[in-house]
Amino acid sequence: MSTRERLVESARDLLWERGYVGTSPKAILERAGAGQGSMYHHFTGKSDLALAAITRTAEEMRAAAAAVLHGPGTPYARVTAYLRRERDVLRGCPVGRLTMDPEVIASEELRAPVDETLDWLRAELAALVEEGKEQGEFASSLDAEEVAAAIVATVQGGYVLARASGSAAAFDTGVRGLLSLLRPADRGDT
C-alpha cells in the first residue's frame, strides 16, 4: 500500500473512532507509519486528507448498500437484506457518525459526501418501495420517500441505541420492528 493510501486509510479509521476534531495530523501519521512531511506531500492539509477519507468511506458505503438493494429478491426481501446485512453495530455508522461532528457539519466541503450518500440512500430505498408498491407487495398508500426516511432513521437510530446500551440487541429490535410494519399482509415471517 502506498504512503498516500496508508494516510487515507488511517484517516478513515481515526475519523470513525475519534471524529474530525479528535483526529490530529500526528495521530494519522503515526497510524499510517508515515514521516512528518508525508501528509503535506500528498494533501494540502488535514481537511484535504479528511475529504479524501470521507469520500472513500461514503463510496464504500454506497457500494455495499447497492450490492444488497440491487440484488436478487423481492423489494421486501432486499429491504430486509439491507437492514440485516452485517454491520459493526457497536462501532456505529462511519458516515452517520460524521453528522455528529461539528467540524464536518460546519464545512460544506466535508459535509458534501455525507449529504450525498444519505440522499442517495434515501432515493434508492424510495425507488425500492415504489417497486414494491407497483408489484403489490407494499400497500399503495405508503409514501415511498417517507418509508425510505424511516428506514434510514431506523438504521442510524439503531446504531445510537446500540452504542448507548453496549449491545447490538437495540439495533436488532428496531430492525425487527420496522420490518414487521413493512411486512406485506399476506406474507409470513421473512
Nearest in space to 110 (alpha carbons), one of 63, 174, 54, 171: 54
Write down the pLDDT at residue 85. 95
C-alpha 47/C-alpha 56 separation (Å) is 14
Q: Is the pLDDT of residue 44 over 50?
A: yes
Backbone angles phi, psi at 94, to 5 degrees: -65, -25
pTM, full prediction: 0.90
Q: Is the pLDDT of residue 190 over 80?
A: no
pLDDT, tens digit, for every residue of 119-162? Answer: 999 999 999 999 999 999 999 999 999 999 999 999 999 999 99
Q: Check the CA dihedral 121-123-125-128 and report its sign.
A: negative
Write down the pLDDT at residue 185. 63
C-alpha 83/C-alpha 102 separation (Å) is 28
pLDDT, tens digit, for every residue of 59-83? Answer: 999 999 999 999 999 999 999 999 9
Question: Residue 158: left (phi > 0), alpha (psi -120 to 50), or beta?
Answer: alpha
Q: Is the pLDDT of residue 186 over 70?
A: no
C-alpha 5/C-alpha 10 separation (Å) is 8
- The residue-averaged pLDDT of 87-107 equals 92
159: helix, strand or coil: helix
Q: What nine digits make up the cell of 70?
A: 440491487
Q: Which residues neighbour 73 within 8 Å (Cβ) at sequence distance 6 or greater?
A: 81
Q: Specify the DSSP class assigned to residue 137.
A: S
Write down the pLDDT at residue 189. 46
Q: Specify the DSSP class assigned to residue 161.
A: H
